[in-house]
Amino acid sequence: MQHDHHDDEADEDRAWRAIVENYGDRPELEEPPPTAPPAQPVSDVPFGGRFGDPRALGGEPAEAAPAAEDEGFVPPPPPPLPRVEPDRMVAWAGVLGSPLVLLCALVFGFSLPAWLGYLLVAGFVGGFLYLVVKMPREPREPWDDGAQV
């Protein structure tokens, strides 16, 4: 049983032709959908216009949950921040400071001398390359996935 590729194309063409011919047609409904009953006026609804007022509900307010007991746990003080080496500090200043200076000059309309613009771009590129080269090759603790319990 051989499948004719020509028949598939003819069927597909007929399907597309039917879609295009019926595009935009809307189905005609025989009877209109039922309408909803009219809404009740607000003055007839219980609580009137004071639905958000807790006094309108009557009854006693719910008891407040008791305050959580202090467990007495005091976390240890955080370790001191590590010292940044001066060469890395200069590299970070180039990576973060150069775009900041260029952006401020652009926003506020300052005209920078060409040599200063080139120096800022070189500071950014040099700082980025320095930080990439000095990046550690292995993790600090090779078998640590970072999860702490």
Q: Quick one: tokens of 68?
A: 């959580």
Rg (CA), the chain: 37
Question: What residue ranges do the domains of the chain occupy?
Answer: 86-133
Top pLDDT among 111 and 40 is at 111
- Type and span of the H or E element at 78: none
Nearest to 95 by CA among 128, 132, 133, 130: 128
Mean pLDDT of 112-130: 95
Read off the tokens for 107: 């926003």
Percent of the chain whose pLDDT exceeds 70: 70
The stretches of the chain forming alpha helices (DSSP H) are: 5-21, 86-92, 98-108, 114-133
Tens digit of each residue's pLDDT (9 = 90 or more) over 20-51: 888 877 777 677 667 777 777 766 656 555 55
pLDDT digits (tens, 9 = 90+) for 60-96: 656 665 555 667 888 899 999 989 899 999 999 999 9
CA 65 to chain centre: 35
